[in-house]
Chains A and B, each alone.
Chain A
Amino acid sequence: MAKQDLIYLFLCRADKRKKLLTEIEKKFPNIQTINIHCAGRFNPILAFKLLQQKAAGVILLGCDTGDCHYREGNLFSERRIFLARETLHGFGMDRNRLQALWYNPKQIAPVLESLETFTKYISNLASKGDSI
């Protein structure tokens, strides 16, 4: 069951992102991280289920083009996320609650930056009283 007002972050190659994980734990108490083997393993229907149960948002963090350990996982996922976002929009929901970030394990600062803008966006929606 999804907890309300929690942001779910699915990320790949968690063993190489240890520094990032500790940073996230310090800075964002409302982000729950979930390890997956590859971004291509992410199934968009999980995002639907979480958002349906009033989770605040879902983010997928995958590697940049050409850097995927399994060569093409992020290319699969990128298209799936696009369709999933449009599905949300088509059913009258806010598509920006589902987002994908593409950064290498070495990049930490840009990830934290985009996470901050995302949490700001979500809290803005919450203050407006805009539920899904």
Chain B
Amino acid sequence: MISEKISQQVKNLIQQEFKTGDVILSYQDSGTPGVMTPIFIHSKEDIGKILINSLCVNNLAVYLSSFFQSEYKDIKQKGRIIITAKPCDAKSVVQMISDEQIPNEKILLIVFECDGVTTSRLIKEKVNQEFSKIDIKDGKYIVTLQDKQSQSIQAEEVRVSKCKDGSLCDLPTYYDYYFVGTEKSSKIDQHSKVMTETPLLQERLSRTEFKKIVDTELEKCIRCYACRNICPACFCSEKCIIDKPKLAVPFLDKEVNLANNILFHMIRFNHVAPNCTECGECERVCPQEIKLSIFYHYFNRLVKKEFGFVSGKSDLERQKLLNYRLGEELV
């Protein structure tokens, strides 16, 4: 549970650091019970709106690259971007810095300790009915149901799938401030191994068996491109091959069928594989609930094994795909 103390400390720090011209990227209460939305703050009066708690699932790193494109030239010249992030999101930011998508000196990265987040969708599944309010107290979510009864849920029961494994909770080497202090609740076990249990990594499955899993998962895809748009590692933006307007014949047909879906996901995985930090946003936003993380675990493990490169660890380490020496031997 992320405590109110952290929320207050972060707010105080932002008050001190904020200068005119800066932009703050943080979370606020959306009004809908159990949903926190991103907020962009340009003036000092709005800093009071910031609220950080265990319902902050969004990865705010996605919005960073848009600040450094042509439309936002005024920010390019003056001011910094102050961003608040969980340790897993901080990795995305650091990976973007190492990919030279955002300049290091224009970012103030504030990281706060986190021991698992949840979404309103998961709480709804747990309670199995509509609810009107969620309070957070002593490591529990207290949900007020529509008939004004309340039900308390332990934090561990409704964690997001990426939080069940502690593999993302270590800090990157680069950050500006780090706030510690979580409310009493069980910490995520750093040594649990959910990652190795994905069907792809077991290698016991034969090719045809695995192909079946791929086909059943990707047949559900409706190609809304939500996974591409939310991904901080997918930074081609309008240059993306999939919706390139200048091509006479589009590279990818608009028709939704299995062959086209597989081609789209192959292009995406191949592009994202070296700089994916497994923040799990693509899986969260997918309207068809495709288990995209089983693929990403596979590709991340592979890059780690073959190139010895862990994405999002350090801002100085460039991608191993680009980091070669002349005279190196070809595979």
A binding-site residues for B, Cβ under 8 Å:
44-45, 48-49, 52, 64-66, 71-72, 74-76, 78-80, 82-84, 86-88, 90-92, 102
Contact = CB atoms under 8 A, between A and B. Distances in A.
B282 to A, nearest CB: 16
Q: Is the interface of A mostly helix, strand, loop or mixed?
A: helix
A90 B198 CA distance: 13
Contact of A87 (B200, B259, B270): B270
B207 A65 contact: no
Contact of B321 (A72, A74, A83): A83
A52 B262 contact: yes
Sorted nearest first, the 6 A-B pairs with minimum C-beta distance are A92-B211, A87-B270, A75-B324, A79-B321, A78-B330, A48-B266
A82 B270 contact: no
Contacts, number: 73
Contact of A91 (B262, B274, B306, B330): B262
B270 A45 contact: yes
A108 B321 CA distance: 29
B328 to A, nearest CB: 7
11 contacts: A48-B263, A65-B328, A65-B329, A71-B326, A78-B331, A79-B324, A82-B306, A82-B331, A83-B303, A87-B273, A92-B214
Given A52-B262, A82-B331, A86-B299, A91 B326 contact: no
The CB with the most chain B CB atoms within 10 A, among A44, A79, A80, is that of: A79
B295 interface: yes
Interface in B192-220: 200, 207-208, 210-211, 214-215
B221 to A, nearest CB: 13
A91 B259 contact: no
A72 B324 CA distance: 9
Contacts of A79: 307, 320-321, 324
